[in-house]
């Protein structure tokens, strides 16, 4: 069950010293609103994962050349809901979101003051990492992997996410398959989020799109959209990390650079992950069957739910 401890229930720790002031920032960009993004007050990096082209392998049993794309309005991704406003809650309900999958660890939720209950939307706590896997020491090790200049470190972190979070992914997808369809004939919409919505959330969305036969270049493009999605609030996340003491041993300037890389979404990182998925599991089916535990029938069910005819909206 999700952690019930909130900021008011826990004994507050003494706040760490504030980091040195950030350098003068240029005018920050507004939250993107063009599809697949939606403007949800209090949420950053919020977007629809649908609209991307699907190009299944050609075969005698699949001769159709009709264009296909990922269903829109079915699965959304974004940041945590801690700052979500009442107007933002109404927008989520208007989009048809009925379930909110929270991928954060218990310690993260407690340290940010608990979680938000949203009327009409069921919150399902599905942490990627257990308490044992999300100690302060392990978190700092992951920070180093995320913040490296190359791709080896971040791909190692991504693979750990995929293996540690396999049961979470199983829960999300089987919940989707078992949900009664609404008036449109499809299941009610889901929302999946971690803290900033770029790493944990981004990795799982990438593997789902790969399973749906979205071409790799579009998966990379979808992942990289988090650069624009997080740009308006990147400074907030960087200062939060600095306040926690992230990379303090490097000095403030290098620490700031590393924090900025942590809350980015470099296309080359996703390109390297897709290559590693092919090398390690032989493609998405190997991961979803071997790690997530889906059956072949369930995989086809997921594809059936997400695949619709028509020209792509993005890509």
Full-model pTM: 0.86
**3-state SS class at 193:** strand
Average pLDDT for the chain = 88
**How many helices and strands (H and E) does the chain possess?**
12, 8
Report pLDDT digits (tens) over 108-137.
898 888 899 999 999 999 999 988 887 777
**Residue 248: per-residue pLDDT:** 81
What's the pLDDT tens digit per position in 219-235? Answer: 999 999 999 999 998 88
Query: Higher model confidence: residue 44 or residue 141?
Result: 44
Contacts 24+ apart (CB under 8 A), 276-282: 276/155, 276/158, 276/159, 277/162, 277/207, 277/210, 280/159
Instruction: Pick left, alpha or beta for residue 192 (phi over 0 → left; psi -120 to 50 → alpha; otherwise beta).
Output: beta
Closest CA to 146 of 229, 280, 237: 237
Q: How many domains does the chain have?
A: 1
Q: Please name which of 9, 15, 8 lies closest in space to residue 239, comparing C-alpha atoms.
A: 15
CATH number of the domain encompassing residue 100: 3.90.190.10
Strands 68-70 and 307-309: what pairing?
antiparallel
Q: Is residue 35 part of a domain?
A: no
pLDDT digits (tens, 9 = 90+) for 143-195: 788 877 889 999 999 999 999 999 999 999 999 999 999 888 889 999 999 99
Residue 26: inside a domain: no
Instruction: Report yes or no on 38 lying in a domain.
Output: no
Q: Is residue 108 domain-resident?
A: yes
Chain centroid to Cα 275, Å, comes to: 20
Residue 59 forms part of a structural domain: no
Q: Which domain holds residue 187?
A: 47-53+66-305
pLDDT of residue 138: 78
- Report the length, in residues, of the chain: 315
The reply to whether 7 falls in a domain is: no
């Amino acid at each position: 069950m999700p952690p019930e401890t909130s900021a008011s229930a826990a004994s507050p720790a003494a706040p760490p010293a504030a980091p040195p002031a950030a350098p003068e920032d240029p005018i920050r960009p507004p939250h993107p609103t063009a599809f697949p993004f939606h403007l949800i007050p209090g949420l950053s990096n919020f977007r629809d994962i649908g609209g991307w082209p699907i190009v299944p392998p050609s075969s005698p049993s699949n001769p159709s050349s009709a264009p296909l794309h990922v269903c829109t309005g079915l699965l959304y991704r974004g940041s945590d809901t801690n700052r979500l406003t009442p107007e933002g809650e109404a927008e989520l309900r208007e989009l048809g979101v009925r379930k909110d999958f929270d991928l954060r660890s218990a310690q993260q939720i407690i340290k940010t003051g608990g979680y938000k209950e949203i009327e009409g939307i069921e919150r399902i706590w599905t942490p990627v990492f257990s308490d044992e896997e999300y100690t302060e020491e392990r978190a700092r090790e992951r920070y180093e992997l995320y913040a490296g200049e190359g791709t080896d470190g971040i791909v190692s972190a991504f693979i750990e996410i995929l293996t540690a979070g396999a049961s979470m992914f199983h829960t999300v997808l089987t919940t989707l398959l078992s949900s009664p369809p609404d008036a449109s004939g499809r299941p009610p919409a889901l929302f999946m989020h971690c803290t900033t919505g770029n790493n944990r959330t981004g990795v799982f969305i990438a593997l789902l799109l790969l399973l749906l036969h979205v071409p790799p270049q579009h998966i990379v493009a979808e992942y990289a959209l988090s650069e624009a999605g997080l740009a308006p609030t990147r400074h907030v996340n960087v200062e939060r990390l600095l306040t926690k003491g992230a990379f303090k041993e490097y000095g403030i300037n290098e620490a700031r650079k590393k924090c900025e890389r942590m809350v980015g979404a470099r296309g080359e990182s996703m390109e390297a992950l897709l290559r590693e998925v092919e090398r390690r599991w032989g493609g998405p089916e190997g991961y979803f069957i071997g790690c997530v535990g889906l059956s072949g029938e369930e995989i086809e069910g997921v594809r059936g739910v997400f695949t619709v005819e028509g020209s792509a909206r993005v890509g």
